[in-house]
């Protein structure tokens, strides 16, 4: 059986053999785009190359890009622990053509890698195409030989959170085009319908690979002008394809996650390896460690606030398992993470001490109030007949350091949810507090970390609050 490490290198080697330059992953903090919260796809580091604003010495590239989808436009934080396939941090394997090859080569190579190199059963694979993209249909059907019933035409997303959307665009104007996505059918024993069906959000048909064909330049009036040199941008989740290749259903069952889950079980003394809390801890240690490696530290705003919220969610799971120890818990997951990812990411090994100390400091601060905060929450819930209001939400954050998304997560476990009115009231109270702080000449925010730790990091600037949307500073 292939390990995740072997699968990553198989991918890069395959595309190297097709003339692609192997390009290292870029930072999770996008260097070329201060409006983007985190690098959330392989194409981010090539954005200017696609736009023609930057030239490289190659026209074909391949990478394994570290990505975070938490906060911001793509926010999968609330999916973690609930689906078999979503992480906050994941690696996106990609191949890119900058005005070089196009649809036919991309599709044929994707199929060659999946079915010839990796020998996946052809009858378990499906493809979606954009509903008007007859060219892609012909390639799938005539060249690859995929039967028409396994080529599904998909339109535009109508705003449903999970609905497939097979048209990609970088922004309201600029490069855009149709996608074709490859799905793997994990079998009828798992709930969920095929892409495009009403129950497509199950875990039976799992999207493994998205191939985007940038072929138009959208004008301000909405018209699509063909690009002189169309481009290809693809992304495949390493953990998802590893699950398929390791003959398991859930990403959490792959070698890499099993190692982390076993480590979390040992640290917390948990015997049930399927416990959701272990999965969440295994997921969150990756996001938190790599964010710190890339220069983010816990704080009350922007990127640092997203990191803080993920760390606190992880620590709450240690608490839930009754496993918070006086010299910290979460930081102990860094060593097992290095076991499985240190070879591919030497920067993780180099910055180990920094990561451990940052996690320790954040846990030490939060652990002081967490228990009391949880008791206060129970009190509020008992008082309010199972629900809480905005003032209470504000108190939980302000006094006990429990952000609203953490409270929402706890309520979800109890089968209920945070009332939107409470969230609105919370926002109002937060804004009042910020104004008071401004009037007093104080910064709301800052960090409780030792100065020498902070000095080791490059500051990161994030200006894109308008991109945070729901799930960023809100729940």
Q: How far apart are CA 154 and CA 140, in angstroms?
A: 15
Which range of residues in 143-151, 207-215, 417-425, 463-471 is near ligand ATP by CB under 6 A? 207-215
Report, in Å, the least distance between residue 282 CB and ligand ATP: 13
Size of the site for ligand ATP (CB under 6 A): 16
Size of the site for Mg ion (CB under 5 A): 2
User: What x/- string results for residues 237 through 256 when contact with ligand ATP is judged by CB under 6 A?
Assistant: x-xx----------------
Q: Tell me which residues in 78-97 interact with ligand ATP (CB under 6 A).
A: 85-87, 90, 92
Neighbouring-strand partners of residue 129: 153, 180
CB atoms within 10 A of CB 239: 24
Q: Kindly tell me which of 86 and 376 has the beta carbon lying closer to ligand ATP.
A: 86
Q: Kindly tell me which of 27 and 75 has the beta carbon lying closer to ligand ATP.
A: 75
Q: Kindly tell me which of 281 and 321 has the beta carbon lying closer to ligand ATP.
A: 281
Q: Kindly tell me which of 167 and 400 has the beta carbon lying closer to ligand ATP.
A: 167
User: What x/- string results for residues 21 through 60 when contact with ligand ATP is judged by CB under 6 A?
Assistant: ----------------------------------------
Report, in Å, the least distance between residue 82 CB and ligand ATP: 12
- Report if residue 388 touches ligand ATP, rule: CB under 6 A: no
User: What x/- string results for residues 198 through 227 when contact with Mg ion is judged by CB under 5 A?
Assistant: ---------x--x-----------------
- Report if residue 279 touches ligand ATP, rule: CB under 6 A: no
User: What x/- string results for residues 11 through 40 when contact with Mg ion is judged by CB under 5 A?
Assistant: ------------------------------
Phi/psi at 344 (5° precision): -75, -25
Q: How far apart are CA 180 and CA 110, in angstroms?
A: 11
**Buried-exposed string 191-201: b where 16+ CB fall within 10 A, e elsewhere:** ebebbbeeebb
Q: How far apart are CA 121 and CA 140, in angstroms?
A: 16
Q: How far apart are CA 329 and CA 312, in angstroms?
A: 12
Report, in Å, the least distance between residue 127 CB and ligand ATP: 12
240 makes contact, choosing from ligand ATP, Mg ion, none, with CB < 5 to 8 Å by partner type, with ligand ATP
**What token pair was written down for 340?**
């499985």
Q: Kindly tell me which of 87 and 313 has the beta carbon lying closer to ligand ATP.
A: 87
Report, in Å, the least distance between residue 419 CB and ligand ATP: 27
Q: Assign 68 to helix, strand or coil.
A: strand
Neighbouring-strand partners of residue 206: 184
- Report if residue 209 touches ligand ATP, rule: CB under 6 A: yes
How do 151-154 and 224-237 pair as beta strands?
unpaired
Which range of residues in 206-214, 307-315, 414-422, 461-469 is near ligand ATP by CB under 6 A? 206-214
**What token pair was written down for 17?**
């053999």
Q: How far apart are CA 138 and CA 124, in angstroms?
A: 20
Q: Kindly tell me which of 111 and 167 has the beta carbon lying closer to Mg ion.
A: 167
Contact between 196 and 235 under an 8 Å Cβ cutoff? The reply is no
Instruction: Indicate the DSSP class of residue 247.
Output: T
CA proximity to 6, closest of 118, 120, 124, 122? 118
137 makes contact, choosing from ligand ATP, Mg ion, none, with CB < 5 to 8 Å by partner type, with none
CA proximity to 292, closest of 359, 360, 366, 345? 359
Phi/psi at 328 (5° precision): 95, 160
Contact between 92 and 67 under an 8 Å Cβ cutoff? The reply is yes
- Report if residue 207 touches ligand ATP, rule: CB under 6 A: yes
Binding site for Mg ion (CB under 5 A): 207, 210
Binding site for ligand ATP (CB under 6 A): 69, 76, 85-87, 90, 92, 207-210, 235-237, 239-240
């Amino acid at each position: 059986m292939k390990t995740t490490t072997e699968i990553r290198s198989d991918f890069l080697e395959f595309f190297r053999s097709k003339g692609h330059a192997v390009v290292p992953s870029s930072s999770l903090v996008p260097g070329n785009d201060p409006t983007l919260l985190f690098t959330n796809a392989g194409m981010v580091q090539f954005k200017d190359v696609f736009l023609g604003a930057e030239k490289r010495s190659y026209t074909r590239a391949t990478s394994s890009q570290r990505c975070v989808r938490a906060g911001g436009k793509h926010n999968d934080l609330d999916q973690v622990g609930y689906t078999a396939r979503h992480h906050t941090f994941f690696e996106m394997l990609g191949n890119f053509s900058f005005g070089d090859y196009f649809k036919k080569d991309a599709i044929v190579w994707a199929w060659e890698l999946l079915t010839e190199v990796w020998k996946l059963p052809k009858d378990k694979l499906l493809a979606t195409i954009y509903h008007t993209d007859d060219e892609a249909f012909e390639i799938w059907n005539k060249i690859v030989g995929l039967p028409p019933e396994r080529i599904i035409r998909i339109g535009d997303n109508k705003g449903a959170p999970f609905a497939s959307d097979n048209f990609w665009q970088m922004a309201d104007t600029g490069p855009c085009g149709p996608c074709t996505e490859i799905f793997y059918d994990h079998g009828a024993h798992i709930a969920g319908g095929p892409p495009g069906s009403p129950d497509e959000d199950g875990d039976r048909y799992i999207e493994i690979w998205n191939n985007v064909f940038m072929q138009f330049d959208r004008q301000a009036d909405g018209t699509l002008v063909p690009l002189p040199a169309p481009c290809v941008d693809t992304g495949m989740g390493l953990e998802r394809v590893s699950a398929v290749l390791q003959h398991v259903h859930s990403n959490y069952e792959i070698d890499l996650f099993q190692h982390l889950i076993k480590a979390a079980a040992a640290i917390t003394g948990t015997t049930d390896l399927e416990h959701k809390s272990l999965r969440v801890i295994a997921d969150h240690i990756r996001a938190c460690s790599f964010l710190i490696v890339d220069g983010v530290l816990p704080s009350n705003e922007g990127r640092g606030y997203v990191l803080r919220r993920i760390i606190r969610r992880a620590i709450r799971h240690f608490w839930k398992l009754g496993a918070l120890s006086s010299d910290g818990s979460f930081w102990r997951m860094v060593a097992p993470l290095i076991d499985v990812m240190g070879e591919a990411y030497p920067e993780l090994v180099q910055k180990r001490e920094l990561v451990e100390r940052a996690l320790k400091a954040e846990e030490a601060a939060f652990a002081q109030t967490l228990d009391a905060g949880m008791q206060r929450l129970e009190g509020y819930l008992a008082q309010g007949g199972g629900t809480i209001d905005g003032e209470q939400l504000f108190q939980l954050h302000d006094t006990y350091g429990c952000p609203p998304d953490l409270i929402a997560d706890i309520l979800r476990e109890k089968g209920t949810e945070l009332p939107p009115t409470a969230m609105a009231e919370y926002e109002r109270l937060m804004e009042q507090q910020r104004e008071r702080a401004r009037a007093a000449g104080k910064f709301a925010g800052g960090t409780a970390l030792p100065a020498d730790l902070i000095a080791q990091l490059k500051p990161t600037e994030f200006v894109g609050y308008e991109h945070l949307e729901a799930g960023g500073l809100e729940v």
